[in-house]
Structure 1
């Protein structure tokens, strides 16, 4: 069985380097979004990289968890692991929902999303030097699309066979809701 791993916003498969699994880890690398593409549509296109002929699990961290939720609704994996993320749009922090009403993200230049390491390390709850490399390698246009699509995301139902793991230091998408279900 394969474990398809979806990294967080601006990150890549390196976030899974120290994760030891009994399954083969297969990174689902970000693809270029279409203009004004919804999270659901993007997830559907990304899911084309999954081998549906054998059983699989999906692991998503932070923004990658939202994509994992949408893929899980479509493909029904054996199991979905959500790390530092939410499962439904109603679980998004209140300030995200308020920002979505204003809809000003589309007017910001992508360079606005280039966070200094000190701010990013506070928000992500880590001082790991890998974060510096990940930030340096980030595609800011993708980051802008992702934040905008996150703010427009509407997901109301829970998915089946899910393990949720939320830490206490991640301030981006961590849900205060249950850890196991």
Structure 2
């Protein structure tokens, strides 16, 4: 079974490096971030471009795993192809699940933000704090990804996430969330599974528990078709 993995804001394939080796299928492809066409490109428009990178691949049994921003992108991608299962980790499925701080950001001119590389690198400490990272290995892991991140993509992602408009979620989703997620508070989210004490970084430091949930689903998916969408209106 093919597994597509979509990383979050200022992350790349390295965010899955603890989880991926534990999955039942090792037929894994990482959907890395594309440069935005412009800073007001919508999440839907971005997903359509990202989809073109895998459009020619017609695996009947394919699932997608999206973490944080990658979860929102995965919801949009699931509208474009029938994934057998949509796994969402430390993310939101609908703007109603976002905290007030992100909703407030819709009023800010985020599309005019230009982040210089030096400023991006200076965000390592606050980002690791927000993600609940408390050890040096985790901080170095986040720093390595931020150092590699494209400032233009981060500026776009902030705007796109804050202004995400979505009314449909796939019925075949599995949403795994940490009870102590600092970015998307658990009380705002309707998840399938809550990891007690899990934070926004749990894909790395609680990978065994996430893999157990995902593998249980993967093991039961043989021959299963993708399901339709539910309206959030």
Which residue does the alignment assign to 2:24? 22
- Post-superposition Cα deviations, 1:136-179, rounded to whole Å, max 9, x if no partner, equal 11111110011111111101222121111111343234553232
Gaps of 5+ in 1: none
Number of aligned residue pairs: 180
Match of 1:130 among 137, 141, 161: 141
* RMSD, aligned α-carbons: 1.8
For the pair 1:43 / 2:54, whether they are aligned, the reply is no
For the pair 1:59 / 2:71, whether they are aligned, the reply is no
Match of 1:76 among 79, 82, 86: 82
Match of 2:181 among 156, 170, 173: 170
TM-score (norm 2): 0.72
Shift of 1:114: 4.5
Q: Distance in 2 between matches of 1:65 and 1:159?
A: 12
Match of 2:157 among 138, 143, 146: 146
Q: Distance in 1 between matches of 2:73 and 2:102?
A: 17
Which residue does the alignment assign to 2:228? none
- Post-superposition Cα deviations, 1:85-122, rounded to whole Å, max 9, x if no partner, equal 0001111111111220x232123331355443221111
- Post-superposition Cα deviations, 1:23-53, rounded to whole Å, max 9, x if no partner, equal 2121011111211321101111111233224
